[in-house]
Amino acid sequence: MYIYIILALAMVALDQISKILITSNLKLYEIREFIPNFLSLTYIRNEGAAFGMLKGARVFFIILTVLVIAALIAYIKKSRPSSKLEMLSLSFIAGGAIGNFIDRVLFGYVRDFIMTDFMDFPVFNIADCFVCIGAGLYILYALSDFFPKKEKGGST
């Protein structure tokens, strides 16, 4: 169980370090090509949620994040998940949520900086990646019940 807490905290640290590096090296709205025609780095301030929706709803997002983290902790304590995949997915979601939560509390906005050059997509950050990876892993975990399990050592 502690390994998943450490993992979530490492994700928070990685997210915050990446944001510090970006804000220390780029001016607001400055764009630097990172991988030509694929990814650029730009520093923007997102006052909303995913894709800038609900701009200016800082208090709502702070309360929502506290409730989500509390619900995750309550769920883990009550159900005691035995699946490593489920715990891994929850760690990713918590790590990403906390990373963006810190930004909202300290700055009133989330620091975003990853821009896709190959398609029109909103600018995002490492914490957003963690939340999406966690959600994807959780979907895989949830779907795993629908796939037949191989039995070990069975006879034919």
Task: State pLDDT tens for residues 27-64.
Answer: 999 999 999 999 999 999 998 776 666 777 788 888 98
Query: 87 and 116 in contact (C-beta within 8 Å)?
Result: no
pLDDT tier at 156, thresholds 50, 70, 90: low
Average pLDDT value for residue range 13-33:
98
- Looking at residue 27, what is its pLDDT? 98
Catalytic residues: 112, 128
- Looking at residue 33, what is its pLDDT? 97
For residue 12, the one-letter residue type is: V
72-107 per-residue burial string, b: 16 or more CB within 10 A, e: under 16: beeebeeeebeeeebbbbbbbbbbbbbbbbbbbeee
Q: The sheet that has 39-46: what strands, in order across it? A: 31-35, 39-46, 110-116
Task: State pLDDT tens for residues 81-108.
Answer: 889 999 999 999 999 999 999 999 999 9
Model confidence, pTM: 0.87
Which residues pair with residue 42 across a beta bridge?
Answer: 31
For residue 33, the one-letter residue type is: E
Task: State pLDDT tens for residues 103-153.
Answer: 999 999 999 999 999 999 999 999 999 999 999 999 999 998 787 777 666
Taking all residues of the chain, what is their mean pLDDT, rounded to a whole number?
91
